[in-house]
């Protein structure tokens, strides 16, 4: 299996599956672990282990009635790259063990392992790996794979904190019920921070969060699941991060987000509304603030030419409903190609949103750190560049845009 590493300078490699398998000289069985190996962590960083654990706890299952009831502890173990609490410059390795892999749940997956589960990737794994693919809990295609990403993203966030850069996200839509957002100018960044994680859904529009939760309980009672959307904000990134052609930071972030299971679309800034706007409406107007170029609006979502403008990076992501539902669905048996009916009884989230946004934050943080490392290396080697141009890239760290 290829493609398990993301990044060019700040690199993250993950491995591990939903249930997994472990083997020793003494024996073997279901269980296994998930790993994250992070290359490019600077030496001398005092790594906050509790903060890494807190980030992983955000996506841990079994915390509310809308989460999967799977009781994983998701306790992290930093195994390498750290000495007496400080990073050494060597790769940082993080281990998370699977602990809730009961026989009853494994048997549930065994009973349907040859059936195509609508919305799941097993059929593609069957095409690619044949009978050798991991069928238990979707294997490597499971959302459980993302715990390693969140652990690595927590390390990236600690690097960004030293640069006064914040990465945050929140739920802005669930099953068609829409909350206020920063994108549409009805919520400020300060309000988002104040209301961050104040409810099980992490919807910072507290009034609409109640309506969303009530609706989700009805969806669950009907044996179904629901999709929705999140908004991600990155504040404090200086201008000029990213490369103008294939390695645009905008493209790198899109790559990072599109690599997360269950996302269906991403839009930056004004997004799809740009199709309805005139150039005179979409163009962000420049101004000067504290000796630096600023923008009075942010329809571009923090990017021009794929490189950062110094304004907030803003984007939204649509997330599909959890594909495992309790209602009967048409299926096909992969080994015989005979039509079948599937009635899944395995554990599932009613909505992926409250456990999806931490993964989006993690992958965004990883992408931004990678872009910063490349940009800083370029500035460091470019001896002829007038320092005053770099001084113009000071990011906006407070205030919001006029609309």
Domains of the chain: 5-391 (3.60.150.10)
Residue 247: partners with Cβ closer than 8 Å, 6 or more residues away: 8, 374
C-alpha 193: how far from its chain's center? Answer: 18
SS3 173: strand
Q: What is the pLDDT of residue 134?
A: 77
Say yes or no to pLDDT of 402 above 60: no
- Contacts of 130-135 with C-beta under 8 Å, sequence gap 24+, read 134/17, 134/18, 134/19, 134/20, 135/109, 135/110
Question: DSSP for 336-377?
Answer: T--EEEE---S---SBSHHHHHHHHHHHHHHHHHHHHHHHHH
Say yes or no to pLDDT of 113 above 50: yes
CB 368 within 8 A of CB 361: no
Q: Which pTM was predicted?
A: 0.91
Whole-number percent of the chain with pLDDT over 70:
93
Categorize the per-residue pLDDT at 398 as very low, low, confident or very high, splitting at 50, 70 and 90. Answer: very low
Window from 70-74, 183-187, 287-291, 372-376 with minimum mean pLDDT: 70-74
Categorize the per-residue pLDDT at 400 as very low, low, confident or very high, splitting at 50, 70 and 90. Answer: very low
Categorize the per-residue pLDDT at 396 as very low, low, confident or very high, splitting at 50, 70 and 90. Answer: very low
Q: What is the pLDDT of residue 244?
A: 92
Query: Measured between alpha carbons, how far is 241 from 306 in angstroms, rounded to an integer?
Result: 9
Categorize the per-residue pLDDT at 246 as very low, low, confident or very high, splitting at 50, 70 and 90. Answer: very high
End-to-end alpha carbon distance in the chain: 47
pLDDT tens-digit readout, 350-372: 999 999 999 999 999 999 999 99
Query: Measured between alpha carbons, how far is 27 from 33 in angstroms, rounded to an integer?
Result: 16
Categorize the per-residue pLDDT at 345 as very low, low, confident or very high, splitting at 50, 70 and 90. Answer: low
pLDDT, averaged across the chain: 89
Write the DSSP symbol of residue 90.
S
Q: Which of 56, 86, 83, 87 is nearest to 72 (CA)?
A: 56
pLDDT tens-digit readout, 214-226: 999 999 999 999 9
Query: Which secondary-structure segment (H or E) carries 317?
Result: strand 313-319
Q: Which of 150, 178, 116 is nearest to 336 (CA)?
A: 116
pLDDT tens-digit readout, 14-31: 998 877 777 878 887 777
C-alpha 206: how far from its chain's center? Answer: 22
Categorize the per-residue pLDDT at 383 as very low, low, confident or very high, splitting at 50, 70 and 90. Answer: low
Say yes or no to pLDDT of 231 above 90: yes
CB 257 within 8 A of CB 364: yes
Say yes or no to pLDDT of 59 above 70: yes
Q: Which of 402, 334, 353, 361 is nearest to 112 (CA)?
A: 334
């Amino acid at each position: 299996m290829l493609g398990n590493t993301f990044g060019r300078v700040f690199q993250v490699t993950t491995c591990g599956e939903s249930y997994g398998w472990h083997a020793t000289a003494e024996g073997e069985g279901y269980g296994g672990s998930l790993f994250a190996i992070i290359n490019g962590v600077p030496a001398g960083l005092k790594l906050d282990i509790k903060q890494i654990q807190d980030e992983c706890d955000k996506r841990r299952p079994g915390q509310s009635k809308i989460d999967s009831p799977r009781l994983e502890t998701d306790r992290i173990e930093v195994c390498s790259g750290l000495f007496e609490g400080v990073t050494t410059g060597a790769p940082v390795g993080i281990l998370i063990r699977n602990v809730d892999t009961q026989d009853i749940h494994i048997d549930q997956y065994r009973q349907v392992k040859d059936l195509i589960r609508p919305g799941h990737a097993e059929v593609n794994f069957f095409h690619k790996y044949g009978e050798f693919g991991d069928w238990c809990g979707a294997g490597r295609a499971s959302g459980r794979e993302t715990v390693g990403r969140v652990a690595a993203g927590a390390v990236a966030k600690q690097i960004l904190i030293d640069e006064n850069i914040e990465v945050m996200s929140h739920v802005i839509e669930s099953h068609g019920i829409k909350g206020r957002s920063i994108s549409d100018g009805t919520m400020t960044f300060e309000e988002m921070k104040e209301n961050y994680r104040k409810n099980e859904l992490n919807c910072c529009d507290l009034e609409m969060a109640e309506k969303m939760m009530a609706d989700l309980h009805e969806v669950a009672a009907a044996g179904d699941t629901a999709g929705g959307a999140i908004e991600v904000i990155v504040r404090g990134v200086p201008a000029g991060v990213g490369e103008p052609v294939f390695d645009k930071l905008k493209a790198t972030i899109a790559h990072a987000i599109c690599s997360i299971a269950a996302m269906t679309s991403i839009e930056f800034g004004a997004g799809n509304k740009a199709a309805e706007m005139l150039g005179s409406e979409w163009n962000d107007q420049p101004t000067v603030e504290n000796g630096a170029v600023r923008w009075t609006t942010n329809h571009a979502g923090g990017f021009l030419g794929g490189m950062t403008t110094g304004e907030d990076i803003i984007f939204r992501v649509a997330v599909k409903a959890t594909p495992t539902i309790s209602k009967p669905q048409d299926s096909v048996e992969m080994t015989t190609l005979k039509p079948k009916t599937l009635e899944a009884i395995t554990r599932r989230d009613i909505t992926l949103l409250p456990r999806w946004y931490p993964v989006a934050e993690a992958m965004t943080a990883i992408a931004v750190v990678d872009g910063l490392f490349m940009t800083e290396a370029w500035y460091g080697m470019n001896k002829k560049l007038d320092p005053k141009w770099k001084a113009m890239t000071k990011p906006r760290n407070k205030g919001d845009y006029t609309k």
